[in-house]
Homo-oligomer: A and B are copies of this chain.
Amino acid sequence: MPHISRRTALTLGTAAFAAPAFGLSPRPPAKIEQWSVFETALTGPKHGNPFRDIALSGIFECGSKLQEAAGFYDGDGVWRIRFMPDRPGNWRFRTTSNARELDGKTGTFAALPASPHNHGPVAVANTFHFAYADGAPYFPFGTTSYAWTHQSDVQCALTLKTLAAAPFNKLRFAVFPNGDTAGIPLYPFVGTPHAWDFTRFNPAFFRRLEYFVGRLRDLSIEADIILFHPYDGGKWGFDAMPPEVDERYLSYLIARLSAYRNVWWSLANEYDIIKAKTEADFDRLFQVVRAGDPYGHLRSIHNLHKIYDNNKPWVTHASLQNGSAVEDDARAMLYRDVWRKPVVFDEVKYEGNIAKRWGNLSGKEMVRRVWAGTIGGTYVGHGEAIEDNEHRMFLGEGGLLRGESPARLAFFKKIIEEGPLAIDPIDKWQDRHLGGVPGRYYLRYFGCETPREWPFVLPKDGVTAGQSFAVDVIDTWNMTVAGVPGTFTLRKADEYSFTADRAVPLPQRQYMALRIRRVS
């Protein structure tokens, strides 16, 4: 596989979905990158119902590493097994199947070291944060477009072009179509609405989905895939399938997609208003995902009113909806302690122009929430509910981003990327409004407050008298960074704090922040 670079111009034609993303080659490629998708295609029986009746998996082996990956039926007598090698080296595999034609097939391939833009899948790191498999920190800058993959090819290409120029490195979207948005008539099952053959999948549907997952990967965007949602609106019934269908659907999706390194599993959006499912159902479905995914991709579940118990061991991180909680870093941080897991606010209301109260934040308020949640040690996602003339919005159908916040979030991202890429609240529960790494790096965020100066005070953790710090004044809205001349040298203030001999002057505008970095 060639080196993948971030592309700024993208095109997309329907033809892309006619041929599977990885081709129908009878022999697998001899060499792929570590953390890329290895795929082998096998010819097997077409009679009966292969989706239901035939099982296939491969055991992959490299040195002492042994891993199983499920195969899947891709239609027309073709079977595939995909596999993501987690280390460079020579891999070999052998298939197992209840169909004689598919059983006992073997092969080999070489996994090469990852190229510079391939850091592997993301996992939880240091309790509250994330890192790629190669150890590089991953700081989520997320957004959402629930139904973008269900739009026309032209619209999908536009969305990808938008994303290529946007600051986001995580996109939430749903497998199933959304009753609130117009979409193309392509469905995961054979049949027609309310007359599905739930025992037969539609490979073309999944090929299109995985094509987009691959495109997002190539843009270094994590695909936070929403497996169930409550917005069916009675159109298709995908929110109320029988339990065994839910489980087969998950297994099939996982067999197809888990080898993509950028996959995250979001069990559901607003799970608590999916009427046909209970919390116990989601407990069970989490097990299906956990058992089926050989790579342990991140797993979460997103609430409306009722937050799932994120302390359950199969939840890797919290994926919250709560706008109020990120109006204040001291609110946001409260969720960290109760779960001791990364807290991702995937919905905090959206920048938008609609009457619904979840869709009319100003750009300034959107950006304020991202900053506030960040210094509280959490991760805050963007969303845009700005309707165009056809009542489409990026949140639903993708397309263009029109808001004022993305540019500021790109600026925010630049600031974050210059720092330690893991922000923790400093002296938590004491309303310091400081996040960072004690003794080394601090962000002080002022939000709507407009003080004339900030009395230079740092909590005692990690600091001693005599240390010096450099300070930058950041205008988070106007996107400027101005260094304060000289340094600030610490002396003990009281039992809890150190201070300097002067304050930091501020311009009495809203949305200011300070960056405070240790220099000696």
Contact = CB atoms under 8 A, between A and B. Distances in A.
B429 A338 contact: no
A330 B357 CA distance: 17
A301 to B, nearest CB: 13
A58 to B, nearest CB: 38
B337 A306 contact: yes
Contact of A330 (B306, B311, B331, B338): B331
A504 to B, nearest CB: 23
A325 interface: yes
Interface in A408-431: 428-431
Nearest to A303: B337
A327 B431 contact: yes
Interface in A110-124: none
Contact of A338 (B324, B339, B430, B495): B339
B325 A328 contact: no
A495 B359 CA distance: 13
A307 B337 CA distance: 6
Contacts of A305: 428
Contacts of A449: none
Nearest to A494: B355
A274 interface: no
A221 to B, nearest CB: 29
A309 interface: yes
A104 to B, nearest CB: 46
A282 to B, nearest CB: 15
Nearest to A323: B429
Interface size of A as a range? 20 to 34
A324 B334 CA distance: 10
Contacts of A430: 324, 357
A335 interface: yes
A443 to B, nearest CB: 18
Nearest to A312: B311
A495 B334 CA distance: 30
Interface string A342-371: 000000000000011100000000000000
A357 B324 contact: no
A496 interface: yes
Most chain B beta-carbon contacts within 10 A, residue among A307, A322, A328, A331:
A331
Most chain B beta-carbon contacts within 10 A, residue among A325, A328, A337, A428:
A337
A306 B429 CA distance: 12
A320 to B, nearest CB: 10
Contacts of A338: 307, 309-310, 335, 338-339
Given A309-B311, A355-B495, A324 B330 contact: yes
Given A305-B428, A324-B330, A356-B495, 13 more contacts: A306-B337, A309-B311, A310-B338, A311-B311, A322-B334, A322-B429, A323-B429, A324-B429, A325-B334, A327-B330, A328-B330, A331-B331, A357-B496
Interface of A: 305-307, 309-311, 322-325, 327-328, 330-331, 334-335, 337-339, 355-357, 428-431, 495-496
